[in-house]
Amino acid sequence: MMSRILVVLMLAIFSIVAIADDISVEDKAKAQLTLAKWMKSRSDDKGRFLFVDRQTNDLMGGYSANVHPMIVPYKDGAVFVCSEIVTDNGDRVTADFLTVKVGDDFKIVEVIMNNRDSVKKMMGM
């Protein structure tokens, strides 16, 4: 039973890695930079920003937890930049940013906080 679980997990990981390889290194860097700029523009001097936790519907404060977020293709050239936030009380929550390419750059068009299950459903996982 445990070996089956490991095989399924490995296949899922390899599938995500294979999909992510379809994005050029340059576009991965641009998508990550877009997220960094977005976070900075919405944060105070200490790097804290406010967001709505989609599990509790509470207004929360937090800080970016990932320097190199995961880039996952979605569809029609859109990609998810998947990261984490450390909340004011020390909890880690998922932070998924749907980005689209506009010209040579990327723009964040949707932010999904603390609801990775929703992102997985969107991706058919």
Who's near 5: CB < 8 A, 6+ residues apart?
none
> Can you say whether residue 88 is alpha, beta or left, with left for phi > 0 and alpha for psi between -120 and 50 degrees?
alpha
**What is this structure's pTM?**
0.76
Q: In 3D, which of 72, 57, 88, 64 has the Cα closest to residue 18?
A: 72
Q: Tell me the C-alpha distance between 91 and 62, whole Å.
A: 9
- Write out pLDDT tens, residues 73-115: 999 889 999 999 999 999 999 999 999 999 999 999 999 998 8
- Write out pLDDT tens, residues 36-86: 999 999 999 999 999 988 888 999 999 998 777 899 999 988 999 999 999
